[in-house]
Amino acid sequence: MKIFRHLIITIILIVTIGIFALSLFALSFDSNRYKTELSELISEQTGRDVTIDGDLTLAIFPDISIKTGKVSIGNAVGFTDKNFANAYATDISVKFLPLLQKNLKINTVVLWFKS
């Protein structure tokens, strides 16, 4: 009985420390610091100019998601000067547990456009 009690206390302590660490990370993380790098990475992968305006917002529950302000994606070379897409906001979320196994599972991608 004593071992069971110690096991329960240990599990509660580990969960409490995990929640505290996750909360501390969320409160101290500045997602806007990575806005330029994110824009450059998308531009490099797509071959199109990508501009992210406004603040980035990180959420960690129930899935990890990032919300942006206006996003503009330029056209490929040879097309008109107009942008390929102009979204006034985006919301992209990924599953948390697959990230621990170094897998990226995209949950949702939402783009808001003005008509």
Q: Tell me the per-residue pLDDT of 6-60, one tens digit each, with 9 for 90 and over.
A: 999 999 999 999 888 878 887 788 888 888 898 999 889 888 889 998 889 888 8
Q: Round to whole Å and give the CA distance between 68 and 56.
A: 5
Number of other CB atoms surrounding residue 7 within 10 Å: 10
| 11: phi then psi, degrees, rounded to nearest 5 | -65, -45
pLDDT at residue 10 in the model: 94
- Domains of the chain plus CATH, in order, are 32-112 (3.10.450)
Question: Cα–Cα–Cα angle for 34, 36, 41, nearest 5°?
Answer: 90
Summary mean pLDDT of the chain:
87
pLDDT at residue 67 in the model: 92
